[in-house]
Amino acid sequence: MPVHLRWADFDPNFHLRHSVYYDFAATARVAFLDACGISTELMHRQHFGPILFREEARFRREVRPGDQLVINVLVTKLRADGSRFSFRHGSFARMERCVPR
């Protein structure tokens, strides 16, 4: 899922704020569930929704203004009845060169 970075996502040192990574992951999860037919409307109608038991992040490189960020979602565990599942997210910053080589 491509992510659009906003000015408000960055701290005064032009680093992506830590909480923004979690927001992007949550948005990617909901979009993934929706693409699988589990829309927020369905969850509301059926009185259920995804509950986080644990969320953690490892930061490997900085994301800066102008980077293009893509978040992927991978299901790593899934119970047969669908009651519990685990996701792994990866975020990939693609740098666009402004100067020709």
* Model pLDDT for residues 63-97, shown as the tens digit of each residue: 888 888 888 898 999 999 888 889 888 877 665 54
**In what order do the strands lie in the sheet containing 85-94?**
2-3, 68-78, 85-94
For the chain, the structural domain boundaries read 2-94
pTM, rounded to two decimals = 0.79
Neighbours of 59 (CB within 10 A): 11
pLDDT tens for residues 7-27? 999 999 998 998 998 999 999
Give the residue from 77, 74, 71, 90 showing the smallest Cα distance to 36: 74
- How many other β-carbons are positioned within 10 Å of the β-carbon of residue 6? 9
Q: Does domain 2-94 have CATH number 3.10.129.10?
A: yes
Instruction: Supply φ then ψ for residue 3, to 5 degrees.
Output: -120, 140
